[in-house]
Amino acid sequence: MSRIGKHFDQLKKEGRVGLVPFITAGDPNLPRTLELLEALAEAGADVIELGMPFSDPMADGPTIQAASERALKNYFGLPELFELVENFRKRHDTPLLLFGYYNPVFSFGEEKFVSEAQESGVDGILIVDLPPEEGEGLRGLARKAGLDVIYLTAPTTPDGRMAEIAAVASGFIYYVCVTGVTGERASVSTTIPRDVARIRKYSALPVAVGFGISTPEQAAAVAREADAVVVGSAIVRIVGEYGDSDEMVGKVREFVSALRRGIDER
């Protein structure tokens, strides 16, 4: 069983709900990203989503698009990302999930990508624009290397498609609770209970709910229904506002700690 699977099993035994924060690798720079990873782990993250910067992040809203642009201006790529993960692993065992798009993986080479991900200490991958029927090769390589392959579902996912995703997914199912791109919302969807229940008809994997969750109160509401809560844009916005400063890392730590408390006190 992967580190992600073991961690979710432990959460279930303890009756707790996971927190999955997202940041973009290389934003605002490599040293600060390492500090951010460590701050997330210490603030109570159960799995960390690490975004792979890409020039055309079509599933992301303006906040995360801007983060990718900042990272790419620093000439941050996959070799630097794997070095970052390796350095993080020297002190922390929090599961790490790479979130991104297929073009950088294809350019890097699937076998090399999976090999270096495994060697550096990555635990799973989520490639937004690589559907199950197109991802058999990468999925096979990942599973041989012990990496989970996470897939997205949405409110518009038909039952038949849900069954197809459930048959090949591992680690957890990522439920995108809104239609549209990433970004903060004023409220969370009222259909989350129904939609999570539908996913559980097809998969015994944990269900993590994300997209649009931006406050401790929203995280607590989602945690009453899901196995984990994913928060991205609200964290990335803080990184963008405070930039390359010690204050930025502290602000992110404070916000993620508040999310953790909200989930735990749900």
**CA 155, CA 90: separation in Å to the nearest integer?**
39
Is the confidence at residue 62, as pLDDT, over 90? no
Domain residue extents for the chain: 3-264
Q: What is the pLDDT of residue 184?
A: 43
Whole-Å CA distances, 71 to 30, 33, 44, 118, 214: 9, 10, 25, 23, 22
Per-residue pLDDT averaged across 114-122, rounded? 98
**What pLDDT is stored for residue 56 in this prediction?**
80
Position 181 confidence tier, pLDDT thresholds 50, 70, 90: very low
Q: What is the pLDDT of residue 182?
A: 47
Rounded to an integer, the average pLDDT of 184-192 is: 66
Pick from 23, 49, 46: which is nearest to 36 by CA? Answer: 23
End-to-end CA distance of the chain: 29
Which residues are CB-neighbours of 170 under 8 A, at least 6 positions away?
2, 5, 124, 143, 148, 149, 150, 205
Q: Over the stretch 77-108, which tens digit does the pLDDT of each residue have?
A: 899 999 999 999 999 999 999 999 999 999 99
* Mean pLDDT along residues 160-168: 96
Residue type, 227: D
Per residue in 4-57, pLDDT (tens digit) is 999 999 999 999 999 999 999 999 999 999 999 999 999 999 999 999 998 887
Average pLDDT of the residues of the chain: 93
Arithmetic mean of pLDDT, 177-183: 54
Report d(CA 151, CA 129) in Å as an integer. Answer: 10
| Residues classed as catalytic | 49, 60
Q: Which CATH class is domain 3-264?
A: alpha beta
Residue 198: predicted pLDDT: 95
pLDDT grade for 70, boundaries at 50, 70 and 90:
very high
Average pLDDT over residues 128-133: 94
Kindly indicate the confidence band of residue 180, based on its pLDDT and cuts at 50, 70 and 90: very low
Q: Are 67 and 239 in contact (CB under 8 A)?
A: yes
Q: How confident is the model at residue 186 (pLDDT cuts 50, 70, 90)?
A: low
158-161 contacts, C-beta under 8 A, 24 or more apart = 159/198, 159/202
Residues in the chain, how many?
Answer: 266
Assign 116 to helix, strand or coil. Answer: helix
* pLDDT above 70 for 187: no
**CA distances (Å), origin 240, targets 39, 127, 201, 204, 252:** 16, 24, 39, 37, 11
110: left (phi over 0), alpha (psi -120 to 50) or beta: alpha
Q: What is the pLDDT of residue 27?
A: 95
Q: What is the mean pLDDT of residues 239-259?
A: 96
Stated pTM of the model = 0.94
Helix residue spans in the chain (DSSP H):
3-14, 30-42, 62-73, 78-89, 102-108, 110-120, 136-144, 159-168, 192-202, 216-223, 233-242, 246-264
Q: Is 198 exposed, middle or buried (0-12, 13-18, 19+ CB in 10 A)?
A: middle
Percent of the chain with pLDDT over 70: 95
In this structure, the number of other CB atoms found within 10 A of the CB of residue 72 comes to 16
Q: Point out the least confidently predicted range of 80-94, 115-129, 183-197.
A: 183-197
Decide if 37 contacts 88 (C-beta within 8 A): yes
